[in-house]
């Protein structure tokens, strides 16, 4: 035991304590000078990554929603074009004009092709309207169709038992460059 106490007396406690403190301060300064800035850079990079990931996810959500709308629109458009291709013009006119007239009859008079790729179909439309405002709405609807549908005048109007009998000749112009009648 005597050797142990003598060896403890020989240790320079002050010098060893100073070296220990110097070492701890050096490690702390190294940590503060090198590790903390790297940690701050990592935090900033992580924040930027999360921001960009959030923006990407939001943009992808919006893109997917718009893409779904576009696919739905294309499917509806294809189905509508297929339905229009399978129905005759008389059936299309019948469905469009059925909201204006009772006892509606649509009959095709003639169909001819013109030089510039137009096909002209002539129809006779007969029906009964409850009042003259339906005829005005019908004419407004036809005028909204632009070059696609043309009403030939004179239009026959007769008053029959609380209704107006209506007969008109319509020309329907069709071409691939002009859209079909909307149902």
In tens, the pLDDT along 12-21 reads 888 889 999 9
Which of these, 99, 116, 101, 93, lies nearest to 170 by C-alpha position?
93
> CA torsion sign, 96 to 97 to 98 to 104?
negative
One domain for residues 50 and 108: no
Q: Is residue 145 part of a domain?
A: yes
How much is the average pLDDT of 160-173?
81
Domain that holds residue 128: 88-174
Q: What pLDDT is attached to residue 9?
A: 72
Helix (H) or strand (E) holding 67: helix 36-86
One domain for residues 149 and 70: no
Helix (H) or strand (E) holding 119: strand 119-129
Q: In which band, very low, low, confident or very high, does the pLDDT at 69 lie, cut at 50, 70 and 90? A: very high
One domain for residues 11 and 67: yes
Which of these, 152, 167, 170, 168, lies nearest to 110 by C-alpha position?
170
Q: Is residue 159 part of a domain?
A: yes
Q: Is residue 140 part of a domain?
A: yes
Q: Taking all residues of the chain, what is their mean pLDDT, rounded to a whole number?
A: 80
What six digits make up the tokens of 145? 């169709």
Of the three residues 41, 67, 86, the one that is the final residue of a domain is 86
Cα–Cα distance measured from residue 173 to residue 149, given in angstroms and rounded to the nearest whole number = 6
Q: What is the pLDDT of residues 33-57, one digit of tens each?
A: 888 888 899 999 999 999 999 999 9
| Percent of the chain residues topping a pLDDT of 70 | 80
Of the three residues 55, 71, 86, the one that is the final residue of a domain is 86
Q: What is the pLDDT of residues 82-130, one digit of tens each?
A: 655 554 667 777 777 777 777 888 888 888 776 666 677 888 888 888 8
Q: Is residue 180 part of a domain?
A: no
In this model, does residue 183 exceed pLDDT 50?
Answer: no
């Amino acid at each position: 035991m005597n050797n142990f106490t003598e060896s403890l007396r020989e240790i320079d406690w002050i010098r060893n304590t100073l070296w220990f403190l110097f070492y701890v301060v050096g490690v702390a300064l190294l940590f503060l000078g090198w590790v903390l800035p790297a940690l701050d850079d990592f935090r900033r990079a992580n924040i930027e990554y999360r921001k960009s990931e959030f923006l990407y996810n939001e943009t992808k959500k919006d893109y997917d929603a718009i893409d779904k709308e576009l696919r739905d629109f294309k499917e509806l458009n294809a189905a509508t074009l297929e339905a229009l291709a399978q129905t005759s013009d008389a059936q299309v006119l019948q469905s469009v004009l059925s909201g204006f007239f009772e006892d509606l009859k649509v009959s095709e008079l003639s169909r001819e092709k013109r030089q510039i790729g137009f096909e002209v179909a002539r129809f006779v439309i007969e029906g009964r309207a409850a009042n003259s405002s339906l005829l005005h709405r019908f004419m407004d609807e036809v005028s909204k169709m632009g070059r696609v549908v043309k009403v030939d005048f004179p239009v026959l109007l007769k008053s029959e038992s609380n209704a107006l009998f209506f007969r008109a000749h319509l020309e329907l112009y069709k071409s691939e460059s002009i859209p079909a009648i909307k149902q």
